[in-house]
Amino acid sequence: MRRVVVDTDTGIDDAHTLLYLAGRPDAEIVAITSVYGNCSEEDATRNIGYVNGLLGLDVPVARGAAEPLRGPAHIAGYVHGKDGLGDLGRDRPLPRVSAESGPELLVRLADEQPGELDLLALGPLTNLALALRIDPELFTKYRSVVLMGGSGPYAPPGTLLMIDANVNNDPEAARAVFAAPRRELVMVGVNVTAGTILDEHDIAALRATRTPVARFAVEILDAYLDFYQNEWGRRIIPLHDPLAAGVLLDRTFATAWTDGPVNVRGDGFLWRARLMRTHDGLPPAFAYDPAPPTRVITAVDARRFVTDFVAVLTR
């Protein structure tokens, strides 16, 4: 059993992740913290409340960062809809929230239950960086910290990667996270999530299931499909955040990984978190900052995970 604290910028695939975690018999959602990213922090909190209501889930919810450590927030409304759930006009009142901030809740739970909880970060890493300012040893108190973000090792020449949005939204926070001491830090990056595809057959299976969970999962998909059809010419989506949850719960979904230092580096346009290795395992051709080892997932059994994801949401 994994007892999971979820930090989320609750957009469409984040909502799918909460549905997946709630449907897995080996997972318990212990608490949820909100952060900006896919939508505003307030909308992320409203969406947490909506999904929790759908699931009948009563866990602590704490509001987190509304902007990065430095600079304005970048909100991905063009991907997830302005409200984060596809702009379907749902009534999403603010849920009851903790008097603690998101970072404060992350610290307190780790202090109260050291080694018992897993932290799953699905959005920009601002809350985690703020929590590390309170307790620099925070990650040593979680059983594991699993991040949806990063870009893996350097890709083979000529290969383009999807944007590393969660790192790009707050590179300063990401830098603090990858430099922090930890028990286990796992990076599930766009190098593996972009190829983990919910295709037309899988979406049809969700659509044919008339449970409230499956119906909601399909209804919020349209905005996401509208965006990703411009990538592939098909109405299909990558399961970015759900895959990170899957790897947290079942490490056999990951078929290859490398442990090593991760640095956050920019190219003048975008920021990425990268394992300081080339695709063939060599160090990069420049000096880089030392960092404690992060477990960087480099390959996954995408089809087996997608099959499990659909099975959980259609039970």
- Predicted confidence (pLDDT) per residue in 209-245, tens digit: 999 999 999 999 999 999 999 999 999 999 999 999 9
Selection from 261, 225, 237, 250 nearest residue 162 by Cα: 237
Q: Using one digit for the tens of pLDDT, what is the confidence trace for 116-137?
A: 999 999 999 999 999 999 999 9
**In contact, 238 and 197? CB cutoff 8 Å:** yes
Kindly write down the DSSP assignment for every residue of 2-24, as one continuous string: EEEEEEE---HHHHHHHHHHHH-
Is 272:164 a contact under the CB 8 Å cutoff? yes
Among 16, 74, 201, 240, which one carries the catalytic annotation?
A: 240
Structure tokens at 8: 């989320």
Query: In whole angstroms, what is the distance from residue 25 CA to residue 59 CA?
Result: 17
Tokens 């299909």 -> residue: 236
Q: How far apart are CA 230 and CA 251, in angstroms?
A: 32
Q: Exposed, middle or buried by CB within 10 Å (0-12, 13-18, 19+), for 213?
A: buried
Closest by Cα among 9, 13, 44, 8 to 227: 13
- The Cα 108–Cα 92 span in angstroms is 28
Q: Is-catalytic flag, 80?
A: no
User: What six digits make up the tokens of 58?
Assistant: 């009563």
Taking the alpha carbons of 244, 247, 250, 255 in that order, is the dihedral positive or negative? positive
Which run of H or of E encompasses 256? strand 254-260
What is residue 279's predicted lDDT score, i.e. its pLDDT?
94
Indicate the average pLDDT of the chain: 97
Both tokens assigned to 255 = 């078929």
Tokens of 38: 């896919």
Domains and CATH numbers, the chain: 2-313 (3.90.245.10)
pLDDT in tens, 68-115: 999 999 999 999 999 999 999 999 999 999 999 999 999 999 999 999
Q: How far apart are CA 315 and CA 25, in angstroms?
A: 12
Q: CA–CA separation, 208 vs 191, rounded Å?
A: 31
pLDDT tens digits for 161-212? 999 999 999 999 999 999 999 999 999 999 999 999 999 999 999 999 999 9
As to burial, measured by CB atoms within 10 angstroms (0-12 exposed, 13-18 middle, 19+ buried), residue 267 is: exposed
Question: Sheet containing 254-260: which strands, arranged edge to edge?
Answer: 61-62, 27-34, 2-8, 117-121, 144-148, 185-188, 294-300, 254-260
Greatest CA separation for the chain:
55
In percent, how much of the chain has pLDDT > 90? Answer: 99
Pairing label, strands 294-300, 185-188: parallel
Stretch 288-303: mean pLDDT, rounded? 98
